[in-house]
Structure 1
């Protein structure tokens, strides 16, 4: 497992993590291949989730694929049409306030979207662990006002760590997660 940036190292010390976040953490540091090649790990996620007919190259936006594979590995169902980020607004149940391990759906230009997992927040942004953020599985800050849905897995027993997390507002604010 690749190390997290120092500002997020606390995640590796916190147990138990929500299952979906635990699965996502294992994939941190995976990056697509620049140019015509494909990362075999990312292409393997398409095979694992049964999405090889619609996901044929890692140059295709893959934040939804990332969510599909971590949801599947955590034992949660995928949403219909999981490659379309905004479809994740139908996952689990709606929540008014984000907490560790929640799925956040964001709007982007021209009706497109982005999806990732909440790891914290500051006064103006959510800190999001997601795929296809700067072409990899990274943690990035995304403006709160772009969030259109907070979705929570339906837990039998909510992990003790599933709560809001206040973080410092350090790092660049993302404007385009691709």
Structure 2
């Protein structure tokens, strides 16, 4: 009986991150195309802030994490706070659904990997050109990948 309990726990521990990250990607895709001005009322209600006045990539990720049954970092509205979310993953092992933190100049941005190539990461996130959309970042901009 103890062996079965151990195997069940191992199974859940190994599969839970995959299910959770896939769930986050699916949740984010449901908001794809929403614009911070054109869809302000819907985004304001969902995020709890006015996205036309506040940097909102971290707020969007907080919304998505909660909808996927995960607990966002305490300061989820700040993109850098996502450096402590979940478990670290080497970029070479990253996959769609993983959380990615990138550096853009002196600022940070957080989103969810939707696709990877040898040189770029396609990321779905909020506050990308004022909307929820997929944007492309170079692998050199990647600061962290979390699962």
Pairing of 1:77-96 with structure 2 (within 5 A): 77-96=71-90
Alignment partner of 1:105 is 2:101: yes
Pairing of 1:7-156 with structure 2 (within 5 A): 18-33=22-37, 39-47=40-48, 55-96=49-90, 97-110=93-106, 112-152=107-147
Structure 1 residue 148 displacement after superposition: 0.6
Give the match's secondary structure for 2:61.
helix
**Aligned twin of 1:11:** none
CA distance in 2, matches of 1:134, 1:57: 12
Give the match's secondary structure for 1:18.
helix
Q: Quickly say closer, same or farther: Cα 1:142–1:57, change in 2 above 3 A.
A: closer
Alignment gaps of 5+ in structure 1: 1-16, 48-54, 153-178
Specify which structure has the bigger relative contact order, considering alpha-carbon pairs within 8 angstroms and separated by 6 or more residues: 2
What TM-score do you get using the length of structure 1 for normalisation? Answer: 0.66
CA contact (8 A) 1:18 1:100 kept: yes
For the pair shown, the structure with the greater C-alpha radius of gyration is 2
CA contact (8 A) 1:105 1:150 kept: yes
Give the match's secondary structure for 1:142.
strand
Aligned residues between the structures: 125
CA distance in 2, matches of 1:135, 1:67: 15
Greater strand proportion: 2
CA distance in 2, matches of 1:105, 1:133: 13
Structure 1 residue 78 displacement after superposition: 1.1
CA contact (8 A) 1:86 1:106 kept: no
The runs of at least 4 consecutive aligned structure 1 residues that moved more than 4 Å come to none
What TM-score do you get using the length of structure 2 for normalisation? Answer: 0.79
CA contact (8 A) 2:96 2:116 kept: no
